[in-house]
Amino acid sequence: MHRTVQISLPSSDSQGLCDELAALETVVGVSLSKGISIKPPGDVVTVDVLNKGADDVLKLVRAASEKHEISVTTSEAASFIDPKNSEKIEDDVDEAIWEEMETGLRHQGRITWNFVFLMALGGAICAVGLVSEPAPQAIAFAAAGIIAPGFEPLAKIPLGAVLGRWNVSRNGAVSSLVGYAVLIASAALVMFILLKTGSVEPVELVGNPEIEHIAHPTLKELIVSGAAAFAGILIIAA
């Protein structure tokens, strides 16, 4: 999707930034509203830019932020109608920008009660799946993968490294450790209850072929796992 970037900045720097933004080929429109920003005080610059040029816009904004107090918001524009630039608009790409990915993962990968409970529920479902027949087992594993939000914290680790935001990587690592510790503890507790109540026999767990696949993955399992992980990254970046 195309992007609209709104920048609040001091009046002394707004015109210069507008001139730099207007010079970018991927910028479709620039507007300047004088004196309407209350916090931070100053002007508001609104930029309509093609998605592939959003990073160039944010680079200019980042350079301006080193000199002045600036507030920036980004949003997706449903469509741009500009007959003179129709070819450029049609050739635009649909990718998330780094800042939006970081913001999305920041909210999704935090340690909250919802996060903890969902990881625990995912672990409980996995435990039942390990001692189920093949069809219910596949359903249980798929359901646990959807319910347990374990991917987003892991994705924050490389994203923080790419952006040089080590606090993002650290938060992702902590969330992953806490989340998967809860998942494992929940799965162990459910399995303990199933065994103690006689609902399952130990042989059902030990003799389950899926246990062997998890403990000693073959190339087939590694390909499926790697492809799924890569697909998750592409979904976040889309």
- Asked if pLDDT for residue 58 goes beyond 90, the answer is no
For the chain, the distance separating the N- and C-terminal CA atoms, rounded to the nearest angstrom, is: 9
User: Average pLDDT in the 211-230 region?
Assistant: 85
Query: What pairs with residue 37 in β-bridges?
Result: 42
Higher pLDDT, 180 or 138: 180
pLDDT at 186: 96
- What is the rounded distance in angstroms from the CA atom of residue 174 to the CA atom of residue 172? 6
The domains located in the chain, with CATH, are 2-94 (3.30.70.120), 100-237 (no CATH)
pLDDT tens by residue, 25-39: 888 888 999 989 888
Residue from 29, 90, 88 nearest 57 by CA: 29
Q: Is the previous residue joined to 136 through a cis bond, with omega within 30 degrees of 0?
A: no
Burial (CB < 10 A; 0-12, 13-18, 19+), residue 186, is: buried
Euclidean distance between CA atoms 24 and 28, whole angstroms:
9
Contact by Cβ (8 Å): 144, 123 = yes
Q: What angle do CA 81, 45, 38 make, to 5 degrees?
A: 135
pLDDT of residue 94: 65
Q: What is the DSSP letter of 67?
A: T
Tell whether the model's pLDDT for residue 199 goes beyond 90: no
